[in-house]
Each structure stands twice: as structure tokens, then as C-alpha cells.
Amino acid sequence: MPAADAPRIGFVGLGNMGQPMAALLARAGHSITVYDVDPARTHVAAQTVPVGIAADLHRLGAASDIVITMLPNGDIVARAADELAGSLPGGAVLVDMSSSAPLGTIALGETLAARGIGLLDAPVSGGVRRAATGELAIMIGGDEAAIARVRPILEVLGRLFPVGRLGSAHALKALNNFVSAAGLAAACEALLIAERFGIEPDLVVEVLNNSTGRNNSTENKLRPFVLSGKFDAGFAAALMAKDIGIAARLARDLNVPAPTLEASAHLWAEAAAALPPGSDHTAIYRHLAGD
């Protein structure tokens, strides 16, 4: 049972990541109201944990002091924020945990501040598995007092890493995914070349993981999701391509030469377009293999 003075939480976006995150908050005893454009998702949430359901964003805003968004991109976040702003109480805080463009986040923060609403960017890393266990890495940017206010809520979901001014967390999330995606693509290319040469795939992974080529993908993705043929790690190739595109645009906006980033952005955009809709990011292996 939440304390009488506990903040009311609104949660917008109940997809693969949002649903387990909202469920964790509810199980931790927070007062939470949820909304998703797909009513079936809100129905599933209400069947599993004690949450309130809002029929629309206006009603969710009226029932919330802090709103968390976990949505596909920054444009959708901005549209949702515009709808929420009309009913949120003064002093409310919007926490965007989506992967959004950092310059767009800064602009949205200025718009909301003029309406008496705070904004924090708090994207996550760790995937669906860590979303369900509360072990996400949460980068967070913005006003320190606002961060202190939401910290007890977000620490239910994972470990916080304050990274600077508003927009910094979205920038770092995109850059993190670039590094992750580049490592996965490189590992898959190495695997394909080694297989063509006649080296057993499992041995390739064994050697990589005991050598300097070791990375998150060689340790956690090649065997369970690539060699197994499952390709279901829980993060879409299209979303990975989007995040790397955000990083590439940021580098251009800042006039920072980034040839590896540009090459990765091109590769992942090409893969996302070529793979079947909804494909997991580990299916980059299939794209590289020409399947």
C-alpha cells in the first residue's frame, strides 16, 4: 500500500520493455496508472498486477504526479507530452525512458518548462530480461532536484547513472547502442568468415570469449540467439537501426567525424529494411549471411 504522500505514477507504453517495467513498479507498491494505444496491452497489465487503467492520456495526466514514457521514438514522445501537459498538475515531472533524439529532448524540455512541467531523459540498457528483473542500466539527464525526486522510483527498475544536462542520457544511449551494434556485426562477420574457412562455430565463440575480441555480443548473444537459430534476444533490428541513426545524426550536428559510426548506421539501416518486419537485432547475422 503506497504512503499517503507517495507520488502517483503514470506509465505510457506497454511494449516489450514497458510492460515488465510497469509491473515491477506496481509490485513494489507504487500507485501506478497505465496507458497504451493498444487496449489489449493495458488489459494484460491489469490482469497481472494492481494498476489503474487510463482511457486516454488526458486522464492519465490528471491521475499522475510523475509520468514515465517508454515509446518507440522522440516524435511520439513529444505528441504524448503535448496531450499530457494539459492535465498534469504544476510541478509534475515527465521521465522519458524511450530512445529519443537528444536535441529533440532539449527542445521538448523547453516547451514543457514553459508549462510548469519538468523533463528528464532516462533511457535504459539491458533488454527485456533485465527489464523484468529490475537490473537495467538507467542513464539519466536533467535537473538534479528532479532526479532526486524520481530516484526511489527508478531504482526499482535498475541502477541510475546521472550523466549531465537534459539530453545527455539520450545521447549516451544512442552511442552505447552504436558500440553494441558494431560489436555484434563484427562478431557475426568473424563467425561467417571462420565458418567458411572450416572452423566450427562454437569453437569460434569459445576462442573469442577467451581472447581480446570478447564483447557483450560474443558472451551473451552468439550462442543463445545466433548459433541456436532463435534470433529472439528481445530488441528489434529496426530499433537498433533507429538508435544508431540518432547517434550518427548527433555526430553530424556536432561536426565530429565518425566514419565507423556512419558505416554502422548504413549497415543497420540496410539490414532493418531487408529483414522481415519485426526481426530481432541478432538477425543481423542472417542479413550478413545473405539469407
Enzyme catalytic residues: 173
Q: How far from each other are the two terminal CA atoms of the chain, in whole angstroms?
A: 52
Distance (Å, rounded) from C-alpha 82 to C-alpha 84?
6
What torsion, rounded to 10 degrees, do the Cα atoms 81, 87, 91, 97 define?
-30
- Classified as helix, coil or strand, 32 is strand
Residues 6+ apart with CB under 8 A from 236: 278, 279, 280, 281
Residues 6+ apart with CB under 8 A from 207: none
Distance (Å, rounded) from C-alpha 154 to C-alpha 121?
12
- Classified as helix, coil or strand, 150 is helix
- Classified as helix, coil or strand, 253 is helix
66, 39 contact by CB (below 8 A): no
Residues 6+ apart with CB under 8 A from 95: 66, 67, 68, 69, 119, 120, 122, 150, 154
Q: What is the DSSP letter of 8?
A: P
Whole-Å CA distances, 13 to 40, 54, 67, 70, 197: 12, 12, 11, 5, 46
